[in-house]
Amino acid sequence: MIERKASRTAVLVCQGRAVADGRLAVGRFTDPLAADLLHADEREPVERVRAGERPAGFGPRMEFELLSGTAELMAARTVAIDDGVRDSATAQLVLLGAGLDARAWRMPELAATAVFEVDQPASQQDKRARLGDRTPLAKSLTFVPVDFAEDSLAARLAESGHDPGVPTTWIWEGVVPYLTPDQVAATTALVAAASAPGSRFIITYPVPSPRNALGRKALGLLLRGARHPNPLANEPFRSSWTPPVLESLLAAHGFEVTTDIDLLTIARDLDITPGRPRFLSTGRIAIADRP
Protein backbone atom coordinates (compact mmCIF):
# COMPACT_ATOMS: atom_id res chain seq x y z
CA MET A 1 0.00 0.00 0.00
CA ILE A 2 3.03 2.32 0.11
CA GLU A 3 4.36 1.45 -3.34
CA ARG A 4 4.52 4.35 -5.77
CA LYS A 5 4.56 2.10 -8.84
CA ALA A 6 1.51 0.39 -10.31
CA SER A 7 0.91 -2.86 -8.42
CA ARG A 8 1.99 -6.05 -10.16
CA THR A 9 -0.04 -8.04 -7.64
CA ALA A 10 -3.14 -6.28 -9.00
CA VAL A 11 -2.29 -7.68 -12.43
CA LEU A 12 -1.81 -11.18 -11.02
CA VAL A 13 -5.20 -11.00 -9.27
CA CYS A 14 -6.84 -9.79 -12.49
CA GLN A 15 -5.18 -12.62 -14.40
CA GLY A 16 -6.56 -15.08 -11.85
CA ARG A 17 -10.09 -13.78 -12.38
CA ALA A 18 -9.61 -13.97 -16.14
CA VAL A 19 -8.51 -17.61 -15.86
CA ALA A 20 -11.51 -18.44 -13.65
CA ASP A 21 -14.16 -16.69 -15.77
CA GLY A 22 -16.48 -19.29 -17.27
CA ARG A 23 -14.40 -22.18 -15.89
CA LEU A 24 -14.73 -22.14 -12.09
CA ALA A 25 -17.88 -21.77 -9.97
CA VAL A 26 -19.94 -21.46 -13.14
CA GLY A 27 -23.24 -19.78 -12.41
CA ARG A 28 -21.83 -18.07 -9.31
CA PHE A 29 -18.64 -16.42 -10.59
CA THR A 30 -18.17 -14.32 -13.70
CA ASP A 31 -15.79 -11.53 -14.62
CA PRO A 32 -15.69 -11.01 -18.39
CA LEU A 33 -13.99 -7.63 -17.97
CA ALA A 34 -10.89 -9.14 -16.34
CA ALA A 35 -9.30 -10.27 -19.61
CA ASP A 36 -10.08 -6.93 -21.25
CA LEU A 37 -8.14 -5.09 -18.52
CA LEU A 38 -4.97 -7.04 -19.30
CA HIS A 39 -2.35 -6.06 -21.84
CA ALA A 40 -1.59 -8.53 -24.62
CA ASP A 41 1.53 -9.95 -22.92
CA GLU A 42 -0.43 -10.36 -19.68
CA ARG A 43 -3.20 -12.26 -21.47
CA GLU A 44 -0.84 -14.79 -23.04
CA PRO A 45 -0.23 -16.84 -19.86
CA VAL A 46 -3.95 -16.58 -19.04
CA GLU A 47 -4.83 -18.13 -22.38
CA ARG A 48 -2.30 -20.93 -21.83
CA VAL A 49 -3.82 -21.82 -18.47
CA ARG A 50 -7.37 -21.66 -19.83
CA ALA A 51 -6.32 -23.99 -22.66
CA GLY A 52 -4.49 -26.34 -20.27
CA GLU A 53 -1.24 -25.88 -22.19
CA ARG A 54 1.64 -26.40 -19.75
CA PRO A 55 4.68 -24.51 -21.11
CA ALA A 56 8.06 -26.17 -21.42
CA GLY A 57 10.32 -23.66 -19.65
CA PHE A 58 10.71 -23.75 -15.86
CA GLY A 59 9.79 -20.09 -15.34
CA PRO A 60 6.66 -20.25 -17.52
CA ARG A 61 5.67 -23.52 -15.80
CA MET A 62 5.91 -21.83 -12.40
CA GLU A 63 3.80 -18.97 -13.74
CA PHE A 64 1.26 -21.52 -15.02
CA GLU A 65 0.94 -23.08 -11.56
CA LEU A 66 0.77 -19.69 -9.84
CA LEU A 67 -2.03 -18.53 -12.14
CA SER A 68 -3.94 -21.78 -11.71
CA GLY A 69 -3.85 -21.44 -7.93
CA THR A 70 -4.70 -17.74 -8.09
CA ALA A 71 -7.75 -18.51 -10.23
CA GLU A 72 -9.09 -20.95 -7.62
CA LEU A 73 -8.51 -18.44 -4.85
CA MET A 74 -10.08 -15.55 -6.76
CA ALA A 75 -13.21 -17.44 -7.73
CA ALA A 76 -13.90 -18.35 -4.08
CA ARG A 77 -12.95 -14.94 -2.70
CA THR A 78 -14.90 -12.98 -5.29
CA VAL A 79 -18.12 -14.94 -4.82
CA ALA A 80 -17.99 -14.53 -1.04
CA ILE A 81 -17.33 -10.78 -1.25
CA ASP A 82 -19.98 -10.22 -3.92
CA ASP A 83 -22.54 -12.02 -1.76
CA GLY A 84 -21.54 -9.83 1.18
CA VAL A 85 -21.99 -6.69 -0.91
CA ARG A 86 -25.41 -7.78 -2.19
CA ASP A 87 -26.62 -8.62 1.31
CA SER A 88 -25.65 -5.23 2.73
CA ALA A 89 -27.10 -3.02 -0.03
CA THR A 90 -25.71 0.23 1.39
CA ALA A 91 -25.79 3.53 -0.48
CA GLN A 92 -21.99 3.76 -0.50
CA LEU A 93 -19.26 1.25 -1.35
CA VAL A 94 -15.57 1.93 -0.70
CA LEU A 95 -12.85 -0.33 -2.08
CA LEU A 96 -9.58 0.06 -0.17
CA GLY A 97 -6.70 -0.82 -2.48
CA ALA A 98 -9.02 -1.36 -5.43
CA GLY A 99 -6.39 -2.54 -7.90
CA LEU A 100 -8.03 -3.79 -11.10
CA ASP A 101 -11.32 -4.63 -9.38
CA ALA A 102 -14.25 -4.65 -11.83
CA ARG A 103 -17.26 -4.66 -9.48
CA ALA A 104 -18.44 -1.18 -10.47
CA TRP A 105 -18.59 -2.36 -14.10
CA ARG A 106 -19.98 -5.89 -13.67
CA MET A 107 -22.46 -5.75 -10.75
CA PRO A 108 -25.91 -4.38 -11.70
CA GLU A 109 -26.75 -4.51 -7.97
CA LEU A 110 -24.66 -1.34 -7.60
CA ALA A 111 -27.02 0.75 -9.75
CA ALA A 112 -28.11 2.73 -6.68
CA THR A 113 -24.70 2.78 -5.02
CA ALA A 114 -21.99 5.45 -5.01
CA VAL A 115 -18.68 3.63 -5.43
CA PHE A 116 -15.34 5.05 -4.23
CA GLU A 117 -12.14 3.34 -5.36
CA VAL A 118 -9.14 4.09 -3.14
CA ASP A 119 -5.65 3.25 -4.36
CA GLN A 120 -2.13 4.51 -4.89
CA PRO A 121 -1.99 7.21 -7.60
CA ALA A 122 0.27 5.14 -9.89
CA SER A 123 -1.95 2.06 -9.68
CA GLN A 124 -5.05 4.15 -10.23
CA GLN A 125 -3.58 5.90 -13.25
CA ASP A 126 -2.66 2.52 -14.73
CA LYS A 127 -6.18 1.21 -14.17
CA ARG A 128 -7.86 4.23 -15.74
CA ALA A 129 -5.70 3.83 -18.83
CA ARG A 130 -6.71 0.17 -19.09
CA LEU A 131 -10.42 0.99 -18.65
CA GLY A 132 -10.58 3.52 -21.44
CA ASP A 133 -14.09 4.93 -21.86
CA ARG A 134 -15.99 2.01 -20.29
CA THR A 135 -19.10 3.16 -18.42
CA PRO A 136 -19.67 1.71 -14.93
CA LEU A 137 -22.97 0.15 -13.86
CA ALA A 138 -22.77 1.82 -10.45
CA LYS A 139 -24.77 4.95 -9.69
CA SER A 140 -21.50 6.87 -9.54
CA LEU A 141 -17.81 6.05 -9.48
CA THR A 142 -15.19 8.23 -7.84
CA PHE A 143 -11.48 7.48 -7.99
CA VAL A 144 -9.76 8.49 -4.76
CA PRO A 145 -5.97 8.58 -5.22
CA VAL A 146 -4.22 8.21 -1.87
CA ASP A 147 -0.49 8.13 -1.25
CA PHE A 148 -0.60 6.25 2.05
CA ALA A 149 2.87 7.54 2.96
CA GLU A 150 1.73 11.16 2.85
CA ASP A 151 -2.07 11.54 2.54
CA SER A 152 -4.89 11.22 5.05
CA LEU A 153 -7.37 8.55 3.95
CA ALA A 154 -10.17 10.24 5.89
CA ALA A 155 -9.46 13.63 4.34
CA ARG A 156 -9.19 12.29 0.80
CA LEU A 157 -12.47 10.38 1.15
CA ALA A 158 -14.25 13.44 2.53
CA GLU A 159 -12.93 15.58 -0.32
CA SER A 160 -14.23 12.99 -2.78
CA GLY A 161 -17.80 13.14 -1.47
CA HIS A 162 -17.98 10.17 0.85
CA ASP A 163 -20.57 10.82 3.59
CA PRO A 164 -19.64 9.26 6.96
CA GLY A 165 -23.23 9.78 8.12
CA VAL A 166 -24.54 7.30 5.53
CA PRO A 167 -24.03 3.51 5.86
CA THR A 168 -21.08 2.24 3.84
CA THR A 169 -19.87 -1.17 2.73
CA TRP A 170 -16.09 -1.35 2.84
CA ILE A 171 -14.10 -3.94 0.87
CA TRP A 172 -10.54 -4.55 2.01
CA GLU A 173 -9.49 -7.32 -0.35
CA GLY A 174 -5.99 -8.69 -0.70
CA VAL A 175 -4.32 -5.82 1.17
CA VAL A 176 -3.94 -6.82 4.83
CA PRO A 177 -0.89 -9.12 4.36
CA TYR A 178 1.12 -6.26 2.86
CA LEU A 179 0.57 -3.99 5.88
CA THR A 180 2.14 -4.10 9.34
CA PRO A 181 -0.16 -4.86 12.30
CA ASP A 182 -0.01 -1.20 13.30
CA GLN A 183 -1.05 -0.12 9.81
CA VAL A 184 -3.95 -2.59 9.83
CA ALA A 185 -5.10 -1.26 13.21
CA ALA A 186 -4.78 2.36 12.08
CA THR A 187 -6.78 1.76 8.90
CA THR A 188 -9.46 -0.09 10.85
CA ALA A 189 -9.78 2.94 13.14
CA LEU A 190 -10.17 5.24 10.11
CA VAL A 191 -12.84 2.99 8.61
CA ALA A 192 -14.72 2.90 11.91
CA ALA A 193 -14.64 6.69 12.19
CA ALA A 194 -16.27 6.99 8.75
CA SER A 195 -18.84 4.21 9.27
CA ALA A 196 -22.41 5.07 10.23
CA PRO A 197 -24.60 2.44 11.94
CA GLY A 198 -25.63 -0.13 9.33
CA SER A 199 -22.18 -0.17 7.71
CA ARG A 200 -20.38 -3.37 6.74
CA PHE A 201 -16.65 -4.15 6.67
CA ILE A 202 -15.49 -7.03 4.42
CA ILE A 203 -11.88 -8.09 4.94
CA THR A 204 -9.72 -10.82 3.44
CA TYR A 205 -6.69 -11.85 5.45
CA PRO A 206 -4.16 -14.67 5.89
CA VAL A 207 -3.69 -16.75 9.01
CA PRO A 208 -0.15 -17.48 10.24
CA SER A 209 1.47 -20.20 8.13
CA PRO A 210 5.23 -20.88 8.20
CA ARG A 211 4.77 -23.27 5.27
CA ASN A 212 3.23 -20.55 3.09
CA ALA A 213 5.93 -18.06 4.09
CA LEU A 214 8.63 -20.53 3.06
CA GLY A 215 6.74 -21.31 -0.15
CA ARG A 216 6.59 -17.64 -1.04
CA LYS A 217 10.35 -17.26 -0.54
CA ALA A 218 11.04 -20.42 -2.51
CA LEU A 219 8.86 -19.21 -5.37
CA GLY A 220 10.80 -15.95 -5.52
CA LEU A 221 14.14 -17.75 -5.60
CA LEU A 222 12.99 -20.20 -8.25
CA LEU A 223 11.61 -17.48 -10.50
CA ARG A 224 14.77 -15.43 -10.06
CA GLY A 225 16.87 -18.45 -10.98
CA ALA A 226 14.74 -18.95 -14.08
CA ARG A 227 15.08 -15.23 -14.89
CA HIS A 228 11.31 -14.94 -14.82
CA PRO A 229 9.52 -11.93 -13.27
CA ASN A 230 8.11 -12.42 -9.79
CA PRO A 231 4.80 -10.49 -9.46
CA LEU A 232 5.10 -10.50 -5.65
CA ALA A 233 8.68 -9.20 -5.48
CA ASN A 234 7.89 -5.59 -4.56
CA GLU A 235 5.04 -6.28 -2.14
CA PRO A 236 6.50 -8.04 0.91
CA PHE A 237 4.34 -10.03 3.31
CA ARG A 238 4.09 -8.06 6.57
CA SER A 239 1.29 -9.49 8.72
CA SER A 240 -1.05 -12.39 9.35
CA TRP A 241 -3.93 -12.72 11.79
CA THR A 242 -5.86 -15.33 13.73
CA PRO A 243 -9.67 -15.02 13.69
CA PRO A 244 -9.90 -14.18 17.43
CA VAL A 245 -7.29 -11.42 17.19
CA LEU A 246 -8.95 -9.84 14.15
CA GLU A 247 -12.37 -10.13 15.78
CA SER A 248 -11.02 -8.38 18.87
CA LEU A 249 -9.60 -5.54 16.76
CA LEU A 250 -12.90 -5.08 14.94
CA ALA A 251 -14.93 -5.23 18.16
CA ALA A 252 -12.74 -2.52 19.68
CA HIS A 253 -13.92 -0.27 16.84
CA GLY A 254 -17.62 -1.11 17.03
CA PHE A 255 -17.86 -3.90 14.44
CA GLU A 256 -19.44 -7.28 15.13
CA VAL A 257 -18.10 -10.20 13.08
CA THR A 258 -21.01 -12.10 11.53
CA THR A 259 -18.98 -14.38 9.22
CA ASP A 260 -15.38 -15.59 9.28
CA ILE A 261 -14.65 -18.49 6.96
CA ASP A 262 -11.67 -19.96 5.15
CA LEU A 263 -11.45 -19.87 1.37
CA LEU A 264 -11.05 -23.64 1.07
CA THR A 265 -14.50 -24.17 2.58
CA ILE A 266 -15.96 -21.57 0.23
CA ALA A 267 -14.25 -23.20 -2.78
CA ARG A 268 -15.56 -26.65 -1.92
CA ASP A 269 -19.08 -25.26 -1.45
CA LEU A 270 -18.72 -23.92 -5.02
CA ASP A 271 -17.61 -27.36 -6.30
CA ILE A 272 -14.08 -26.10 -6.90
CA THR A 273 -11.45 -28.79 -6.33
CA PRO A 274 -8.25 -26.84 -5.65
CA GLY A 275 -4.90 -28.20 -6.71
CA ARG A 276 -3.27 -26.85 -3.54
CA PRO A 277 -5.93 -26.90 -0.81
CA ARG A 278 -3.52 -25.72 1.91
CA PHE A 279 -3.00 -22.48 -0.02
CA LEU A 280 -6.72 -21.69 0.19
CA SER A 281 -7.11 -22.94 3.76
CA THR A 282 -4.81 -20.21 5.09
CA GLY A 283 -6.82 -17.40 3.49
CA ARG A 284 -9.97 -16.17 5.18
CA ILE A 285 -12.74 -13.65 4.71
CA ALA A 286 -14.38 -11.82 7.60
CA ILE A 287 -17.61 -9.85 7.37
CA ALA A 288 -18.34 -7.45 10.22
CA ASP A 289 -21.35 -5.18 10.69
CA ARG A 290 -21.80 -2.00 12.69
CA PRO A 291 -25.10 -2.08 14.62
For residues 97 and 158, give the distance between their C-alpha atoms in angstroms, rounded to a whole number. Answer: 17
pTM of the predicted model as reported, rounded to 2 decimal places? 0.91
Residuewise pLDDT in 10s, the chain (291 residues): 434 455 788 999 999 999 999 999 999 999 999 999 999 999 999 999 999 988 887 778 888 988 999 999 999 999 999 999 999 989 999 999 999 999 999 999 999 999 999 999 999 999 999 999 999 999 999 999 998 768 888 999 999 999 999 999 999 999 999 899 999 999 999 999 999 999 999 999 999 987 765 565 656 655 666 566 666 666 678 899 999 999 999 999 999 999 999 999 999 999 999 998 988 999 999 999 999
Torsion of CA 174, 91, 168, 25, to 10 degrees: -30
Q: Which residue intervals of 149-261 are DSSP H helices?
A: 153-159, 181-193, 210-225, 243-252
Are 79 and 173 in contact by the 8 Å Cβ rule? The answer is no
Within 10 A of 56 (CB to CB), how many other CB atoms are there? 6
Angle made by CA atoms 31, 239, 70, in degrees to the nearest 5: 25
> What pLDDT does residue 1 have?
40
Nearest one of 215, 272, 233 to 26, comparing CA atoms: 272
> What pLDDT does residue 3 have?
45
Which of the 8 DSSP states describes residue 169?
E
Beta strands (DSSP E) in the chain are: 92-96, 114-119, 140-145, 168-172, 200-206, 256-262, 283-289
